[in-house]
């Protein structure tokens, strides 16, 4: 039995594993692909952290709260922005190399790192690696460190099927090996770090592996999840016939790139004081409106003013070149694409969930730091900070959540699995005529058409009815195949996204309703799903916390 079972090998999972190993805890990392095959490696954007003046954690906190549209938990955000700088420096110490002005910085020489500005940030605070290959560099450094650790075991090509629950605590997980055999892996603590669920949508920037596996197993085990209606759509995915869609980093707009419609009009001017650098929800929503009113399927990003494009953004340059586009002279076709889950498995600021001995961090988790809309480049920082926080809590003897962070006000649900027979069903030899890829495509089509950037009661009802109908063929999928379980997981997560989107009768952050275009004070709270129940948890306590200045000080604002 291992001390810590980590499910997932992105920035959150590998940070957890390394920190646990440093404390002499035995660690097993389970990942469904290769160790380095994660969504982290696709991240072009950098890591946001208040590394030096004139920036400060207070300014970073303020920008994060504004982007989160009232649903961020200030305590959780304080953890993020306060711990963030040292976590980035620690990442550099293990070998990640961040860009500097004209030269490559030494490992921990943060004074030399170049800082970029991205959407929603009041000043430049984002560090990059390889121009637009930050995720790949971070993943490389973490994987090398994990491979070098004798305290960390790794199981690749191994898929998590269900959580093992014994005596009201998580005792590990049931997994499926590449050879098709199932195994129960027991551990004293289990950490969900399996990433997001972008594959719920037909148009996404997420890799094929982002199928919501951690959220799905938590939902089936009756573990509380929240804020799943807040699916962030990245406003500038390259509109080409490739999936996942190539991402055009927000750093382009930070360097002066401008969004234009078919008439060449810079349509973000006048919409928001930050214009093209407005928070992502505002930019995506505005693009969707332009597409609808102008009968377009994409708008354009004019980046022709950026010097040395191929050196500064080599990943984007390559994607454009493969599609016969030259950013130095061509406006680039872009449209929103599903990008990031701001919600997930509810945790307190230490990463504890409503099931004892089960933890979650990174995109799988709802820690309260992102609220209704994640601030650009806070995602990699989230994994770094809260992966470390999980280990600190485990080493301190913690096993259950505190009523703080996103867990504040969340009732202590009685854990009722969605389907008690699920584990047995997953291991059965039942075979049917349904193709997992066809089922997955059906889910993706209805989610993109009816639960996309803009939604309403009619579209969400159609989505709910369609997804309910798909539960029948889902039971006839061939057994002991990873693509079967991925399709089921996508369906399970998609149904909850629609359920919470129907319940939230307002527009807030990344959730926009045509029929409820304004924010509602009555909807300031979280929709929490556990088992078969959905509960609204009002954040009256959060309102008071914000009003009283839920931050350390405002002296250097």
Catalytic residue annotation: 280
The separation between CA 243 and the C-alpha centre of its own chain, rounded to angstroms, equals 18
Task: Indicate the length of the chain as a whole number.
Answer: 557
Q: Give 313's contacts (C-beta < 8 A, 6+ positions apart).
A: 131, 132, 249, 251, 252, 306, 327
Task: Answer for the pair 489, 196: CB distance below 8 angstroms, yes or no.
Answer: no
CA nearest 535: which of 524, 545, 547, 527?
527
Three-state secondary structure call for residue 160: strand
Task: Answer for the pair 389, 401: CB distance below 8 angstroms, yes or no.
Answer: no
The separation between CA 2 and the C-alpha centre of its own chain, rounded to angstroms, equals 27
The separation between CA 480 and the C-alpha centre of its own chain, rounded to angstroms, equals 27
CA distances from 155 to 5, 32, 36, 159, 317 (A): 11, 8, 12, 10, 35
Task: Answer for the pair 472, 182: CB distance below 8 angstroms, yes or no.
Answer: no
Three-state SS sequence of 177-216: CCCCCEEEEEEEEEEECCCCCHHHCCCECCCCCCCCHHHH
Cα–Cα dist 111/234, whole Å: 30
- φ, ψ dihedrals at 411, nearest 5°: -65, 150
The separation between CA 45 and the C-alpha centre of its own chain, rounded to angstroms, equals 13
Cα–Cα dist 194/7, whole Å: 6
Strand 454-455, strand 27-30: pairing? unpaired
Cα–Cα dist 441/200, whole Å: 9
Cis peptide before 531 (omega within 30 of 0): no
Q: What is the DSSP letter of 235?
A: E
Cα–Cα dist 33/494, whole Å: 22
The residues with which 27 forms a beta bridge, in sequence order, are 4, 152
Tell me how crowded residue 400 is: count the other CB atoms within 10 A of its CB.
15
Q: Which tokens in the block code for residue 397?
A: 């003897």
Q: Quick one: 304 exposed, middle or buried, by C-beta within 10 A (0-12, 13-18, 19+)? A: middle
Task: Answer for the pair 129, 114: CB distance below 8 angstroms, yes or no.
Answer: no
CA nearest 274: which of 282, 284, 285?
282
Positive or negative, the CA dihedral 57, 63, 68, 69 is: positive
Strand 225-226, strand 231-238: pairing? unpaired
CA nearest 376: which of 236, 518, 551, 273?
236
Cα–Cα dist 13/388, whole Å: 10
């Amino acid at each position: 039995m291992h001390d810590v079972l980590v499910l997932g090998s992105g920035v959150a999972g590998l940070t957890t594993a390394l920190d646990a190993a440093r404390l002499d805890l035995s660690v097993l990392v389970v990942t469904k692909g290769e160790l380095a095959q994660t969504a982290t490696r696709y991240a072009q954007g950098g890591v946001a952290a208040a590394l030096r003046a004139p920036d400060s954690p207070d300014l970073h906190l303020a920008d994060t709260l504004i982007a989160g549209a009232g649903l961020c938990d200030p305590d959780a955000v304080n953890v993020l922005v306060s711990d963030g700088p040292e976590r980035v420096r620690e990442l550099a110490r293990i070998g990640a190399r961040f860009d500097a002005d004209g030269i490559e910085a030494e490992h921990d020489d943060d004074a030399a790192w170049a800082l970029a500005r991205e959407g929603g940030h009041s000043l430049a605070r984002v560090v990059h690696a390889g121009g637009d290959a930050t995720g790949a560099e971070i993943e490389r450094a973490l994987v090398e460190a994990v491979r070098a650790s004798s305290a960390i075991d790794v199981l690749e090509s191994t898929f998590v099927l269900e959580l093992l629950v014994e005596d009201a605590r998580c005792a590990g997980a049931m997994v499926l090996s590449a050879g098709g055999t199932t195994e129960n892996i027991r551990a004293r603590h289990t950490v969900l770090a399996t990433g997001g669920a972008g594959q719920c949508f037909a148009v996404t920037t997420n890799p094929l592996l982002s199928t919501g596996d951690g959220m799905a197993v938590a939902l089936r085990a009756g573990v509380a999840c929240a804020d799943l209606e807040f699916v962030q759509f990245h406003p500038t995915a390259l509109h080409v016939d490739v999936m996942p869609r190539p991402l055009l980093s927000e750093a382009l707009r930070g360097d002066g790139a401008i969004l234009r419609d078919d008439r060449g009009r810079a349509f973000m001017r006048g919409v928001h004081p930050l214009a093209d650098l407005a928070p992502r929800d505002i930019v995506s929503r505005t693009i969707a409106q332009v597409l609808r009113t102008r009968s377009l399927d994409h708008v354009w990003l004019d980046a022709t003013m950026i010097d040395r494009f191929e050196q500064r953004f080599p990943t984007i340059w390559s994607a454009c070149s493969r599609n016969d586009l030259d950013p130095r002279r061509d406006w680039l076709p872009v449209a929103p694409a599903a990008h990031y889950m701001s919600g997930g498995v509810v945790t307190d600021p230490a990463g504890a969930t409503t099931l004892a001995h089960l933890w979650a961090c990174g995109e799988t988790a709802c820690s309260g730091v992102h609220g209704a809309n994640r601030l650009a480049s806070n995602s990699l920082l989230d994994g770094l900070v809260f992966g470390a926080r999980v280990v600190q809590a485990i080493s301190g003897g913690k096993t259950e959540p505190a009523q703080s962070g996103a867990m504040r006000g969340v009732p202590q649900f009685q854990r009722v699995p969605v389907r008690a027979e699920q584990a047995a069903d997953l291991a059965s030899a039942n075979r049917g005529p349904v193709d997992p890829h066809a089922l997955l495509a059906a889910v993706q089509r209805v989610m993109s058409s009816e639960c996309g950037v803009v939604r309403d009661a009619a579209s969400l009802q159609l989505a709910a009815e369609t997804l309910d109908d798909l539960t029948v063929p889902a039971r006839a999928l061939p057994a002991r195949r990873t693509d079967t379980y991925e399709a089921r997981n996508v369906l399970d997560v998609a149904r909850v996204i629609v359920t919470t989107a129907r319940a939230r009768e307002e527009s807030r952050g990344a959730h926009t309703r045509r029929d409820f275009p304004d924010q509602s004070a009555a909807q300031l709270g979280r929709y929490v799903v556990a088992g078969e129940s959905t509960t609204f948890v009002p954040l009256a306590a959060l309102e008071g916390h914000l009003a009283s200045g839920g931050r350390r000080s405002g002296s250097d604002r």
